[in-house]
Structure 1
Amino acid sequence: MGAHDEQPVIPALWIRHDSEILPLWWERLCAEMGPQSASRYAAGLFDHDRRRPIAQWFNPALNAALLVAIETGPEWPVQRFAVFYAPPDSGFSKVRMNSHEWFTRTPRTSPTEEEAFAASIASAEAFLRVEMDFL
């Protein structure tokens, strides 16, 4: 077995889709808390696709999705990525994980935004591997 064979693999059912936030997020959020509260959640992340970067996976067979995005307001001195999960068919939750954040006042000091984003993607991929064991 080569080193590549030992690497964990994201299940093929999950399709990476980073171009825009899926409408599924807004629909699920509105169903849980109503449009007015939903528009305030995570600084409007789900109804205004304006915050980058994002990483997103979609499973059309399950109608499920996973999203990595900035959850803090742009004015906050500490910025943080979060992982959000929309399980099969309905519902919505934030995945509890290590804090992946950076400081806007010291953008070149580790952890940088790029490092925090990479770490949050690694957390999301680990979540997908575990989640697929239960589906």
Structure 2
Amino acid sequence: MGFRSDQPLVPAVWQRHDTVILPLWRERLCMEMSPLAASRYASGLFSEDRRRPIAQWFNPALNAALLVGLETPAEWPVQRFGLFYAPPQGCVQRVHTNLHEWFPRKPRVSPTEDEAFHGAIVSAESFLRVEMDFL
């Protein structure tokens, strides 16, 4: 049976929250590593809500979350969106997918930042659909 266009992109138990980074991320990182190391992880993505855009999904029943955010330092010549998963077990995992990157010095050359972000969201939605099959 193939994917039907009338199916939701993301299972309904995953709620989208794109306004601010959820506190869950910093809490989990601090449990795994020191607060200083947690603040530096992924170029400060989880401690400093300074770079946009982000996309987040939260599953309150499982206390799990998925985040699309910039994982590279601002000064790098190549920028990349990463996927980070906070599973119900209480950690943070980097989800390895296709590279979703762009070159800021060439903002109009494909892939652009918008194209990279959209590609990362598509990967995140695919991950959530597959993840629900295992939960």
Structure 1 residue 47: deviation in Å? 0.6
Q: Which amino acid aligns with 1:64?
A: A
Q: Which amino acid aligns with 2:78?
A: V
Tell me what 2:127 maps to. 127
Structure 1 residue 89: deviation in Å? 4.2
Q: Does 1:23 align with 2:28?
A: no
Q: Which amino acid aligns with 1:43?
A: S
**Equivalent residue of 2:72, what SS?**
coil
Stretches of structure 2 that go unaligned for 5 or more consecutive residues are none
Q: Which amino acid aligns with 2:41?
A: Y
Stretches of structure 1 that go unaligned for 5 or more consecutive residues are none
Tell me what 2:62 maps to. 62
Cα-to-partner distance string for 1:26-82 (whole Å, 9 max, x where unaligned): 000111111011111111110111110000000000000000000001111100000
**Equivalent-residue separation in structure 2 for 1:45 and 1:20 (angstroms):** 11
Q: Does 1:46 align with 2:51?
A: no
**Equivalent residue of 1:117, what SS?**
helix
**Equivalent-residue separation in structure 1 for 2:10 and 2:40 (angstroms):** 32
Percent identity between matched residues is 70
Structure 1 residue 105: deviation in Å? 1.0
**Equivalent-residue separation in structure 2 for 1:54 and 1:118 (angstroms):** 11
Tell me what 1:74 maps to. 74
**Equivalent residue of 2:131, what SS?**
helix
**Equivalent residue of 1:127, what SS?**
helix
Tell me what 2:103 maps to. 103
**Equivalent-residue separation in structure 2 for 1:8 and 1:33 (angstroms):** 36
Calculate the TM-score normalised by the size of structure 2. Answer: 0.94
Tell me what 2:118 maps to. 118
Q: Which amino acid aligns with 1:104?
A: P
Runs of 4+ in 1 over 4 A off after TM superposition: none
Structure 1 residue 8: deviation in Å? 5.3
Aligned residues: 132
Calculate the TM-score normalised by the size of structure 1. Answer: 0.94
Structure 1 residue 9: deviation in Å? 3.2
**Equivalent residue of 2:101, what SS?**
strand
Cα-to-partner distance string for 1:86-110 (whole Å, 9 max, x where unaligned): 0014011000100000001101000
